[in-house]
């Protein structure tokens, strides 16, 4: 098992945030952690990323305890994390200093092509659209060849059309790279469109209410009976009736 959460609890002062979280994530799996805003999803991601230590319980990756941040595991945040003073190729190559010049250029070119930014190699972030900046951030994260990616509502600040495009882009990249991805969201549609499994969290203190297997192949037909059934089962799980 790639990532394992065992009886993870987290409190800040007198506020209980996470309660008895147990979860296994398989190698190469895309798992969405879904829950209402403020329930503790990002806290859970920060724990597995090594930025926070749980009050009790443990997290392991490849059987090794997580004790701090690790360059093999990379975060992609909602707020833009690209460096405004670097070009597209400068951003993608930022973490590649240990490679030879030829290897750096080869890897930069690969990820420029992978995320669809060919022709913008010399552009600065201010010259890119919101969706292009987000693709650049994903490319920069992938270029250092992480074995796990943590995405914390990465498309939340984008408009609805760009968000749909970025979901498709992420799926294409994930299918090409086969990275293990933990993706935090509060968007039910997004989770059912993307994930192998959706982990539905309760309100704070957050527990895992249910893990939903999304047994639909990609690309997913968002109007199919099975998609609607799975989506509506998650709405029902969190106490909402889906209304269009």
- Spatial separation of the C-alpha atoms in residues 138 and 214, rounded to whole Å: 24
- Spatial separation of the C-alpha atoms in residues 169 and 133, rounded to whole Å: 13
- Spatial separation of the C-alpha atoms in residues 219 and 43, rounded to whole Å: 31
Q: How far apart are the first and last CA of the chain?
A: 38
Tokens encoding 110: 């690969």
Which residues are registered as beta bridge partners of 24? Answer: 4
Element holding 184 (H helix, E strand): strand 180-185
Task: State what percent of residues in the chain have pLDDT above 90.
Answer: 72
Instruction: Give the confidence band of 76 by pLDDT, cuts at 50, 70, 90.
Output: confident
Taking residues 123-145, what's their average pLDDT? 91
Mean pLDDT score across all residues of the chain:
92
Residue with the bigger pLDDT between 14 and 196: it is: 196
Instruction: Give the confidence band of 28 by pLDDT, cuts at 50, 70, 90.
Output: very high
Q: At what angle do helices 101-114 and 160-177 cross, to 10 degrees?
A: 130
Taking residues 222-237, what's their average pLDDT? 95
Q: What's the pLDDT at 205?
A: 92
Residue with the bigger pLDDT between 25 and 137: it is: 25
DSSP state, 193?
H
Instruction: Give the confidence band of 244 by pLDDT, cuts at 50, 70, 90.
Output: very low
* Lowest-pLDDT choice from 119-133, 148-162, 212-226: 148-162
- Spatial separation of the C-alpha atoms in residues 7 and 241, rounded to whole Å: 31
8 Å CB contact between 206 and 44: yes
Show the domains of the chain with their CATH numbers: 3-72+146-237 (3.40.50.300), 82-144 (no CATH)
> Would you say the pTM of this structure is higher than 0.85?
yes
- Spatial separation of the C-alpha atoms in residues 216 and 128, rounded to whole Å: 34
DSSP state, 126?
G
Buried b (16+ CB within 10 A) or exposed e, 30-51: bbbbbbeeebbbbbbbbbbbbe
Element holding 20 (H helix, E strand): strand 15-25
């Amino acid at each position: 098992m790639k990532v394992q959460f065992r009886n993870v609890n987290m409190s800040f002062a007198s506020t209980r945030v996470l309660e008895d979280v147990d979860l296994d994530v398989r190698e190469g799996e895309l798992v969405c952690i879904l829950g209402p805003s403020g329930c503790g999803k990002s806290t859970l991601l920060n724990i597995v990323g090594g930025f926070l230590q749980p009050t009790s319980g443990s997290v392991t990756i490849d059987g090794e305890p997580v004790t701090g941040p690790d360059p093999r595991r990379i975060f992609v945040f909602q707020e833009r994390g690209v460096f405004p003073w670097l070009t597209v190729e400068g951003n993608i190559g930022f973490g590649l200093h240990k490679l030879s010049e030829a290897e750096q250029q080869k890897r930069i070119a690969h990820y420029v092509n992978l995320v669809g930014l060919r022709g913008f190699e010399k552009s600065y972030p201010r010259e890119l659209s919101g969706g292009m900046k987000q693709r650049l951030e994903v490319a920069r994260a992938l270029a250092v060849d992480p074995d796990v990616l943590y995405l914390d509502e990465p498309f939340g600040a984008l408009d609805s059309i760009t968000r749909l495009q970025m979901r498709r882009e992420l799926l294409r990249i994930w299918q090409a790279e086969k990275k293990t991805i933990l993706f935090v969201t509060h968007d039910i549609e997004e989770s059912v469109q993307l994930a192998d499994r959706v982990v539905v969290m309760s309100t704070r203190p957050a527990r895992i209410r249910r893990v939903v297997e999304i047994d639909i192949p990609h690309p997913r037909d968002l109007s199919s009976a099975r998609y609607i059934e799975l989506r509506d089962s998650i709405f029902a799980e969190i106490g909402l009736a889906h209304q269009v």
